[in-house]
Amino acid sequence: MIVTRLDVKDYRNARSRTVEFKAGRNAFVGANARGKTNLLEAVYFAGVGKSFRTPRDKELINSDCDRAYISVTAEKPSGTETVKIIIDRRANKRVAVNELPISRMSELMGVCPVVLFCPDGLKIVKEAPADRRRFMDISLCQISKAYFAALSRYDKILQSRNRLLKSGGATVNTLAPWDELLAEEGAKIVKSRRGFLDRLSGFAYEKIAYLTEGAEALALEYEGASGNDIGEIKSELLSSIKRDFDNDMRLRYTHSGPHKDDIKITLNGTDVRTYGSQGQQRTVALSLKLAEISLLTEVMGTSPVLLLDDVFSELDVNRRKKLLAALDGFQTIITSTDDDEFAEFGVNVINI
């Protein structure tokens, strides 16, 4: 996939801006606070229907305006795709794909697939398990509408079960229907995540070997319910939920399920989440993102656009050059304050 054009109006500090992209490497270059990340964020928003910087859509609207507008056009093997989004202060956001309004966000997933790496990307490795679950979920939702639906159902069931626990009316009998539904949807999520991680592992092993010239070996392992099929996973989840009944009743929230799972990440046999240096954690995070784009390309039959926000300032010169060299074969949009190394790699520089 190639994103060819971005149009924004009254989006953050961009009152009206049109950008045309080329296949391959593109870069927004300019001083800090000029709005480079805002434009990158707009492309991301068109891909997944939300910002990577705020959960509140209305913060994206220019402070003097009532609504913001985003349009992204992409060329795919199947033809041209155009996503248009209106974010309104007084109404829910409106999304159209090829001029047809959509009623469910699942219909947006996979239309303009994106992979993002930004300074917060280190959270994949060093922060809480929620960041690693989010990493899997964003990729899987773009790959599979069925996964998006299962995750949405699971979240609603979990909220209902937690509300019952908080109400004081929870008993073994009143929780039982929710336990069954939670395990049923949870099993679908765990199976999909395990399959995703199994496929991602091979790509991640290759990417870190490239970035470190063979010095580091990366391994990934899913930490959650085990089982070879949906039935086995569901059975284990139900057992865990029943085992945690007393804790759930005492603390009034659900302790077991895929909303608590994690990814174990080891580098040369050592858990890099806890014991890795910042440099190792950064390289692992970047390897995971490069692996993600390879996996999405393999599964979807078209490559997502890779969005790199202020990543180059975090890397030494050698790894910046290795990263730029690794970007052959798919489209990349970069933000940077300086373009010293871009000419060597034929980067399309867009001054901001």
Quickly state the pLDDT bin for 310 (edges 50, 70, 90): confident
Q: Is the pLDDT of residue 121 over 80?
A: no
Domain membership of residue 321 (yes or no) is yes
**What are the residues facing 138 on neighbouring strands?**
none
Q: How far is CA 31 from CA 39, 52, 112, 351, in A?
A: 14, 21, 28, 9
pLDDT of 327 reads: 85
State the total domains in the chain.
2
Question: Is 321 found in the same domain as 295?
Answer: no
pLDDT of 92 reads: 93
Q: How far is CA 294 from CA 145, 190, 201, in A?
A: 20, 22, 11
State which residues form the domain around 23: 1-113+302-352
Question: Is 190 found in the same domain as 233?
Answer: yes
CATH number at residue 272: 1.20.1050.90
Question: Is 148 found in the same domain as 8?
Answer: no
pLDDT of 8 reads: 97
Which three-class secondary structure state does DSSP give residue 271? strand
| Paired tokens of 90 | 């007084």
pLDDT of 304 reads: 95
Question: Is 255 found in the same domain as 140?
Answer: yes
Dist. CA 284–CA 117, nearest whole Å: 12
Residue 55 burial (CB count, 10 A)? 7
Domain membership of residue 74 (yes or no) is yes
Domain membership of residue 148 (yes or no) is yes
Give the whole-number percent of the chain exceeding pLDDT 90.
75
Convert the pLDDT of each residue in 127-140 to its tens digit: 899 999 999 999 99
Give the whole-number percent of the chain exceeding pLDDT 70.
100
Q: Is the dihedral of CA 209, 212, 216, 219 positive or negative?
A: negative
Question: Is 187 found in the same domain as 209?
Answer: yes
Domain membership of residue 66 (yes or no) is yes
Domain membership of residue 61 (yes or no) is yes
For residue 297, give the H/E element and its range. helix 278-300
Which of the two residues, 122 and 268, has the higher pLDDT score? 268
For residue 158, give the H/E element and its range. helix 145-167
Question: Is 200 found in the same domain as 230?
Answer: yes
pLDDT of 155 reads: 97
Domain membership of residue 119 (yes or no) is no
pLDDT of 316 reads: 77
Question: Is 153 found in the same domain as 210?
Answer: yes
Question: Is 135 found in the same domain as 96?
Answer: no
Quickly state the pLDDT bin for 253 (edges 50, 70, 90): very high
Question: Is 142 found in the same domain as 171?
Answer: yes
Dist. CA 73–CA 62, nearest whole Å: 22
CATH number at residue 93: 3.40.50.300
Domain membership of residue 58 (yes or no) is yes
As a whole number, mean pLDDT of residues 271-293 equals: 90
Convert the pLDDT of each residue in 181-210 to its tens digit: 999 999 999 999 999 999 999 999 999 999
Question: Is 172 found in the same domain as 90?
Answer: no
pLDDT of 290 reads: 93
pLDDT of 266 reads: 95
pLDDT of 136 reads: 96
Domain membership of residue 118 (yes or no) is no
pLDDT of 306 reads: 94
Considering 283, 301, 319, which residue would you say is the last residue of a domain?
301
pLDDT of 296 reads: 95
pLDDT of 344 reads: 78
50: Cβ–Cβ under 8 A, 6 or more apart, which residues?
57
Convert the pLDDT of each residue in 25-78 to its tens digit: 999 999 888 899 999 999 999 999 999 999 999 999 999 999 999 999 999 988
Question: Is 257 found in the same domain as 240?
Answer: yes
Average pLDDT, the chain: 93
133: Cβ–Cβ under 8 A, 6 or more apart, which residues?
258, 259, 261, 262
Closest among 190, 44, 204 to 124, alpha carbons compared: 204
Q: How far is CA 147 from CA 18, 123, 150, 169, in A?
A: 34, 23, 5, 32
Question: Is 259 found in the same domain as 313?
Answer: no
Convert the pLDDT of each residue in 226-250 to its tens digit: 988 999 999 999 999 999 999 999 9
